[in-house]
Chain A
């Protein structure tokens, strides 16, 4: 797998391969790059932020309260597109627990209807 390290502005071009069951990173300049490369290869994760529609019109911004597996992002966004938020929302409110088994809570990042 080829990727770019994001740990600093260097942006090293990393190549990550698996040799004899071990993940090997090349192209990195420092240990942070190796750690990043291994994580991106083995279990890439992202915090996802998006909008949810509300039943009264308008949108409310949300985030996952922890990074979710990258391969769950598509399912998560499809869930988010179909979901409708009811009532008043305050920043920090938990909107949903573990949708699409993504392993995270969905938390409001703004107020709605306050």
Chain B
């Protein structure tokens, strides 16, 4: 049995930031990563736009990953296990993993940081109707095949979903010589960033249709086309207005799900809204000593926020392992009236400031965000516009939190 102060499961942006933050507090750290290199999904995100908040400059995904990877690999206090799959995690923090070089690895950790990221929703997850031909990919899978393996997955493309990966792939496929015929979005708005809609679609004259979905696909060996139709208020497609679009490739950018399989059967309390753990401001779950950060906790739109969140978790995990993490009582944070979820879901009483991150349930213009504690207003912030795709935060003084916390929007 190996012993480390902090074991980090996952070596993407969250895992690397957590490991470095734990090291800064003097902890011994292990990172367990199933791919053959650190960096996670950043390695396949060759577009730029990363790091504006965290580094104050615009980087591509591989460059952003490298900044962290170089620091991790240069640090003798961090042991990196690559091509290593974690099989189980117990509540007293024994991590069991399988590695091609070390065999069955057992680690007893003072604290664990979950940093496994998320998975894409697939054709099965959205109950895509029709045949099951080749040519249907999740957008991230196509991105990996294109940008890492060097394969173009198709020539005539329809994309379902206008999340950022879908938008980025529309431009990527176009740059590589494919024709993107349509991006269909079932919602009346895009969950993607404005910048991506302009620079990935408008720049290349790629049409985007809102309130539209793919109703079925055709093709035996290879995809030959998709049917699309507008949807009504209840997401019901109007089949009388179905339209056929010939294509050989359908990319799905229809949502991401935190990859929390390791927690199945554990007593870690989960959120039905985020599909991640319920955490306090240290990103500690309901099981003491187990922390969670990045896309495994809740899906982020900016990696900069992932790095920041994982630094908090890594630093607190090191404190926990050293027996130095405060255990003052917590207050629940409850979202309402336009706020879909807020994170952390619990806040310790005490001193200092805490940032409450939240997402709204639809696009709001000119709304005010209000935080109350024990029924008393403690913070108010006017906003110009808030969209579900862009995570917001509001900072409050912990000393003002004297009762249950609520966060809501007002006209």
Contacts and interface: CB of A to CB of B under 8 A. Distances in A.
Interface string A26-39: 00010000000000
A94 interface: no
Interface string A2-16: 011110111100000
B195 interface: yes
A73 B205 CA distance: 14
Contacts of B43: 110
A110 B225 CA distance: 36
B385 A9 contact: yes
Interface centre among B58, B146, B176 (most CB of A within 10 A): B176
Contacts of A73: 203
B271 interface: no
B198 A6 contact: yes
A51 interface: yes
A70 interface: yes
A11 B389 CA distance: 13
Contact of A11 (B48, B146, B194, B203): B194
B47 interface: yes
Interface stretch (B59-67, B306-314, B332-340): B59-67
Interface centre among A57, A63, A73 (most CB of B within 10 A): A63
Nearest to A2: B202
Contacts of B365: 10
Contacts of A17: none
A51 B198 contact: no
A109 B194 contact: no
B198 A49 contact: no
Interface string B216-230: 000000000000000
Contacts of B197: 4, 11
Interface centre among A63, A73, A77, A110 (most CB of B within 10 A): A110
Nearest to B146: A51
A8 B48 CA distance: 17
B100 interface: no
Contacts of A47: 48, 58
A75 to B, nearest CB: 13
Given A49-B60, A63-B48, A109-B46, A6 B199 contact: yes
Interface of B: 43, 46-48, 58, 60, 62-63, 66, 146-148, 150, 175-177, 194-195, 197-199, 202-203, 365, 384-387, 390
Interface of A: 3-6, 8-11, 29, 46-47, 49-51, 53, 57-59, 61, 63, 70, 73, 77, 81, 91, 109-110
